[in-house]
Amino acid sequence: MAVQKNLRIPMALTGLALLTACASSDPVYSAFHREAGALVDTGSFGNATMNNMQIMNGEKRHTYDLAQRFAGDVMTTVNFAFNSTQLDSGARDTLREQANWIRQFPEVRFRVYGHTDAVGSEGYNKRLGLRRAHAVVNFLATQGISKSRLEAVVSFGETQPLIVTEGRERRNRRTVTEVSGFVGSHPTVLEGRYAEVIYREYINSAVPPSGLTGITGDDFNTES
């Protein structure tokens, strides 16, 4: 019985420690030791409203559609040599194509993600991925793209490989350019004309009003 009692004491202490740890990380429990109103906003207040507004005004759906078009029209990925941030000729050609596409849509923002393979420490690869993303942003800027539209430069390091391997893998050493949203201050976007932005070239390819001059209803009458 003495042995069992001795075992119960450490187990009880362990349970108490776990409960204390949970309480310290749970905002409900920790609120007893914080100022009044600390739980009003835990960091996500307003996200639901923002998401609903983006769905209702069409921005979220049109952002997705435009991202799909961008990925279908141009190559969104460029690759790098091992432990390098240098853009080779193939990468520069791809980025020129991206820049040509981006210039057509001054209302749209883009984000560049950097990636590495698994060779090296996680911290080093995080920094290397960021340097690669910066290299892409800097090159796009030389092609006339404002850095203010490349809203974020993000590094995933080695955490999102295309090919799962611990060794060197060129396909994992990459950056990816994606559509991230619309420029909120742009007047066209504020008017909610997202479809006109996305399908601009189709609208421009339509017959201009001057091309309809002299055409009457009889011209469309095929009856004899």
Mean pLDDT of 161-183: 89
Between CA 86 and CA 66 the distance in angstroms is 29
Which two tokens mark 80? 């790098």
pLDDT at 185: 54
Give pLDDT tens digits for 66-97. 888 889 899 999 999 999 999 999 999 999 99
In the predicted structure, residue 219 carries a pLDDT above the cut 80: no
Considering only 54-58, 116-120, 203-207, which range has the smallest mean pLDDT?
Answer: 54-58
DSSP notation for 113-129: EEE--SSS-HHHHHHHH
Instruction: Count other C-beta atoms under 10 Å from residue 154's C-beta.
Output: 16
Which range scores top for mean pLDDT: 27-31, 154-158, 200-204? 154-158
The pLDDT > 70 percentage for the chain reads: 54
In the predicted structure, residue 100 carries a pLDDT above the cut 80: yes
Which domains are present in the chain? 56-204 (3.30.1330.60)
Between CA 164 and CA 144 the distance in angstroms is 36
Band the pLDDT of 57: cuts 50, 70, 90: very low
Higher-confidence position of 200 and 144: 144
- Residue 128 contacts residue 81 (beta carbons within 8 Å): no
pLDDT at 172: 93
Which two tokens mark 188? 């066209």
Which two tokens mark 168? 């060197």
pLDDT at 105: 85
User: What is residue 180's three-state secondary structure?
Assistant: strand
Band the pLDDT of 98: cuts 50, 70, 90: very high
pLDDT at 56: 42
Q: What does R_g of the chain's alpha carbons equal in angstroms? A: 27
Contacts of 11 (CB under 8 A, 6+ apart): none
Mean pLDDT of 120-145: 94
In the predicted structure, residue 50 carries a pLDDT above the cut 80: no
User: What is residue 81's three-state secondary structure?
Assistant: coil
Between CA 186 and CA 219 the distance in angstroms is 42
Higher-confidence position of 23 and 224: 23
Higher-confidence position of 99 and 205: 99
